[in-house]
Amino acid sequence: METMKEKNHTALMEFILLGFGSGPGLKVGPFVVFLAIYMTTVLGNTIMVFLIRANSRLHTPMYFFLMNLSLVDVCYSSTIAPKAMVSFLTGSKSISFYGCATQFFFFGIFVTTEAFILAAMAYDRYTAICNPLQYPIAMSKQVCVQLMVGSYVCGSVNSMVHTVFTFTLCFCGSNEIDHFFCDIPPLLSLSCTNTDINELVLFTLSSLIIVSTLMVILVSYAFIISAILRIHTAEGRRRAFSTCTSHMMSVSLFYGTLTFMYTQPSSLASPTQSKVVSVFYTLVIPMLNPLIYSLRNKDVKEALGRNISSVFLK
């Protein structure tokens, strides 16, 4: 009995993140890949934030949300990538119980907040295209701030619920997490107690957040497409639609991977498949977002050009 108690205590003090291989030693390949993606993510999103802050022409609701999207992308990549890279470089796979809970909590905040920001951006585009005369009032600075604060509050509440439910479980078996960061599905698989309630809470909250925010996006775009089709000139339709294509690409990438990860039953989840998908939405999507919004956005490209010119003309 005493031995079992000691084993429980040891398991609760530390987890082992197996990452992409349980063998000892350095993982140079994964380290280089993660480093390249992470540096591109930080650089791209930092540039996006700087451009929006430095150019008065970009001080609009759409770019306010885009700036916050870039900040969130950097934050939730930063909760995952540095720890994973240290593990790859040093071979140290351990993470403390409280370190795991902290990583889990902040990752949950930022990934949930991103879902609500994408929904707010869709509503912004709907208002701009379908109700242009009401746009300055409907999307005033106060409304934009309220939407952002609401996004962070929803993210914090959702993450707190999952953190409490997950880290009050009894972990009395193996402490090896078959993942490269602390996520719900691999943590639930380590528990020696019944996790049916946790899986129900995960499915319910994830489905609620995904469905509600996705409904806002889909309904907004249904009205947007209807309004665009009523525009008589082809050029007018092209210009209206061009303001939405970048957002639609981000939504497709984000919600596709999120739905795959958190709404399927744990019995159907493959650890290897989950890790690959996790890399995509924790690192690749945050890296792609600034590229998507800059390469397909005339205002951003012009702002970038002006800033580059001003640097060389000094």
Least confident of 24-28, 87-91, 223-227, 286-290: 24-28
Place of tokens 């159907």: 268
Residue 267: which pLDDT band, with cuts at 50, 70 and 90? low
pLDDT of residue 3: 43
pLDDT of residue 249: 84
Show the DSSP H helices in the chain as ranges: 2-13, 28-54, 61-78, 81-90, 97-130, 135-138, 141-167, 184-188, 196-229, 234-262, 271-279, 285-295, 298-313
Judge contact between 121 and 213, C-beta under 8 A.
Answer: no
* Residue type, position 296, single letter: R
228-235: average pLDDT: 80
The average confidence (pLDDT) of the chain is: 83
Cβ partners under 8 Å of residue 202, min gap 6: 162, 184, 188, 262
The predicted-structure confidence for 135-163, as pLDDT tens digits, reads as follows 999 999 999 999 999 999 999 999 999 99
Residue 42 has pLDDT above 70, yes or no: yes
222-242: average pLDDT: 81
CB count within 10 Å of CB 301 equals 13
pLDDT of residue 11: 47
pLDDT of residue 46: 93
C-alpha–C-alpha distance, residues 94 and 111, integer Å: 24
pLDDT of residue 109: 95
Select the more confidently predicted residue: 279 or 115.
115
The predicted-structure confidence for 192-211, as pLDDT tens digits, reads as follows 888 888 888 888 998 899 88
CA 55 to chain centre: 26
The predicted-structure confidence for 109-139, as pLDDT tens digits, reads as follows 999 999 999 999 999 999 998 888 899 999 9
Residue 247 has pLDDT above 70, yes or no: yes
Residue 295: which pLDDT band, with cuts at 50, 70 and 90? low
Select the more confidently predicted residue: 284 or 260.
284
Cβ partners under 8 Å of residue 198, min gap 6: 165, 166, 169, 184, 188, 191
297-313: average pLDDT: 65
Please tell me which of 33-47, 194-208, 235-249 the model is most confident about, judged by mean pLDDT: 33-47
Residue 75: which pLDDT band, with cuts at 50, 70 and 90? very high
Residue 4: which pLDDT band, with cuts at 50, 70 and 90? very low
Please tell me which of 119-123, 235-239, 264-268, 281-285 the model is most confident about, judged by mean pLDDT: 119-123
Residue 303 has pLDDT above 60, yes or no: yes
First to last CA, the chain: 74
